[in-house]
């Protein structure tokens, strides 16, 4: 990954931070406090991390208001972790996925590639594909007929876009992602299953990031939609006609069934499962391994856990009782033996 060296003053100006200390020190990377070198940037967002930060070799730290840290150049930020992430992106820009158009790429003469598009080895780009300026396509990717990709997208190796898939700007697809595959829809008649049409669309809006080996099905007759800023982890499955709102985050191994509607700023823990036609409203939190039954609604701001999913406080109460079941069973067995002994004595 290429590094860029800047002074602390330049970094403070870029980040819009107030600086305290020597602004001339050079900063070229980011690191955790324990592994940081003199030119690395660290961050401190809680008093409990001050001791570790003080012992670090880092010369510069992004730090929350009200915290003190001697011997280092400080950049004050209300949200140090967010500011640190912005600094990392500036100091350590991502390495290119591809440069130029590789000789082994197979590109249809009807495809339209804007200025600065890079295409890696053995990429296949079919008829009618449109790719925006500055987009990078990694080795062995497949772009089916009529795919459209916006500007400055990044497709890592072996991404597959089925025919007609649409990506907006700055979308990132990690290796093995499959966008626009057929949904799992069949009609039963006389004991046999006939495939229901899977001819809809898939639309991924700007600034979405999709993890490795994640699959997103096209709509059946309508469309599947991932709205701006959503982030999907590795090994997530999104079925046909699902709508996912802005800035929602979904952790690994989550499975979302057909026609589920998810609002904005929803958070999913890993291995959550949603039945078809569920609705998850804005700002809800779905705990890890939670299971939501078909057709259920999770209300705005609600936190749910368990299978079937229930409000967090109720889940915690029930979990406490479940953990006590072995002891309660022993007590019941003891009472039953005592009752049997008393009955025999009375007889």
* Per-residue pLDDT tens over the stretch 165-196: 999 999 999 999 999 999 999 999 989 999 99
pLDDT higher than threshold 80 for residue 1: no
Q: Kindly state the average pLDDT of the residues 321-335.
A: 85
Measure the CA–CA gap between 110 and 51, rounded to whole angstroms: 61
Pairing of strands 303-305, 237-238: unpaired
Within the chain, how many helices (H) and strands (E) appear? Answer: 5, 40
Predicted local confidence at residue 74, as pLDDT: 97
Q: Kindly state the average pLDDT of the residues 258-265.
A: 98
Predicted local confidence at residue 3, as pLDDT: 63
pLDDT in tens, 207-248: 999 999 999 999 999 999 999 999 999 999 999 999 999 999
pLDDT higher than threshold 80 for residue 344: no
Averaged confidence pLDDT in the chain: 94
Pick from 118-122, 232-236, 330-334: least confident = 330-334
pLDDT higher than threshold 60 for residue 2: no
Measure the CA–CA gap between 294 and 286, rounded to whole angstroms: 15
The span from the first CA to the last CA of the chain, in angstroms, equals 86
Predicted local confidence at residue 72, as pLDDT: 96
pLDDT higher than threshold 90 for residue 287: yes
Predicted local confidence at residue 318, as pLDDT: 82
Predicted local confidence at residue 336, as pLDDT: 81
pLDDT in tens, 13-56: 999 999 999 999 999 999 999 999 999 999 999 999 999 999 99
Structural domain spans, the chain: 6-91, 106-313, 322-346
Full strand arrangement of the beta sheet holding 73-76: 18-20, 73-76, 60-63, 40-44, 29-30
Q: What percent of the chain has pLDDT over 70?
A: 97
pLDDT in tens, 289-325: 999 999 999 999 999 999 999 988 888 888 888 888 8
Predicted local confidence at residue 345, as pLDDT: 62
Full strand arrangement of the beta sheet holding 279-280: 112-113, 130-131, 148-149, 166-167, 201-204, 223-226, 243-244, 261-262, 279-280, 297-298
Burial annotation 305-331 (CB, 10 A radius, 16+ → b, else e): bbeebeebeebeeeeeeeeeeeeeeee
102 an active-site residue? no
Predicted local confidence at residue 21, as pLDDT: 95
pLDDT in tens, 60-101: 999 999 999 999 999 999 999 999 999 999 999 999 999 999
> Which of these is catalytic: 6, 82, 174, 240?
240
Measure the CA–CA gap between 78 and 264, rounded to whole angstroms: 24
The dotted CATH code for 6-91 is 3.40.1390.10
In a 13 Å sphere around the CA of 192, the CA atoms on its Cβ side amount to 3
Backbone angles phi, psi at 72, to 5 degrees: -135, 155
Predicted local confidence at residue 20, as pLDDT: 96
Q: Higher-confidence residue: 27 or 3?
A: 27
pLDDT higher than threshold 90 for residue 340: no
CATH fold of 106-313: UDP N-Acetylglucosamine Acyltransferase; domain 1 (2.160.10)
Predicted local confidence at residue 342, as pLDDT: 65
């Amino acid at each position: 990954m290429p590094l860029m060296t800047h002074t602390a003053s330049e970094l403070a100006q870029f980040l819009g931070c107030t600086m305290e200390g020597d602004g001339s020190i050079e900063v070229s990377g980011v690191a955790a406090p324990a592994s940081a070198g003199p030119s690395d940037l660290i961050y401190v967002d809680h008093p409990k991390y001050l001791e570790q930060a003080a012992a670090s070799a880092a010369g510069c730290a992004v730090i929350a208001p009200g915290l003190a840290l001697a011997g280092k150049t400080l950049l004050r930020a209300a949200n140090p972790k967010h500011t640190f992430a912005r600094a990392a992106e500036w100091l350590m820009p991502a390495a290119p996925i591809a440069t130029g158009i590789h000789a082994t790429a197979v590109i249809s003469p009807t495809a339209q590639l804007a200025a600065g598009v890079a295409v890696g080895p053995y990429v296949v780009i079919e008829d009618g594909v449109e790719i925006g300026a500055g987009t990078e396509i990694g080795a062995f990717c497949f772009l089916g007929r009529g795919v459209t990709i916006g500007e400055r997208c990044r497709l890592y190796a072996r991404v597959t876009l089925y025919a007609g898939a649409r990506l907006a700007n700055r979308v990132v697809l990690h290796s093995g992602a499959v966008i626009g595959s057929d949904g799992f829809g069949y009609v039963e008649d006389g004991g046999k299953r006939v495939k229901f049409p899977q001819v809809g669309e898939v639309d991924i809006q700007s600034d979405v990031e999709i993890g490795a080996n994640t699959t997103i099905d096209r709509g059946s007759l309508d469309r599947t939609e991932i709205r701006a800023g959503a982030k999907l982890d590795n090994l997530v499955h999104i079925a046909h006609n699902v709508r996912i709102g802005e800035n929602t985050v979904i952790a690994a191994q989550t499975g979302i069934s057909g026609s589920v509607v998810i609002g904005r700023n929803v958070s999913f823990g890993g291995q959550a499962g949603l039945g078809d036609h569920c609705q998850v409203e804005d700002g809800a939190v779905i705990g890890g391994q939670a299971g939501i039954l078909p057709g259920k609604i999770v209300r705005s701001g609600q936190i749910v856990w368990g299978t079937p999913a229930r409000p967090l406080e109720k889940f915690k109460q029930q979990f406490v009782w479940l953990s006590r079941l072995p002891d309660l069973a022993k007590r019941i067995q003891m009472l039953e033996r005592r009752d049997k002994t008393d009955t025999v004595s009375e007889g």
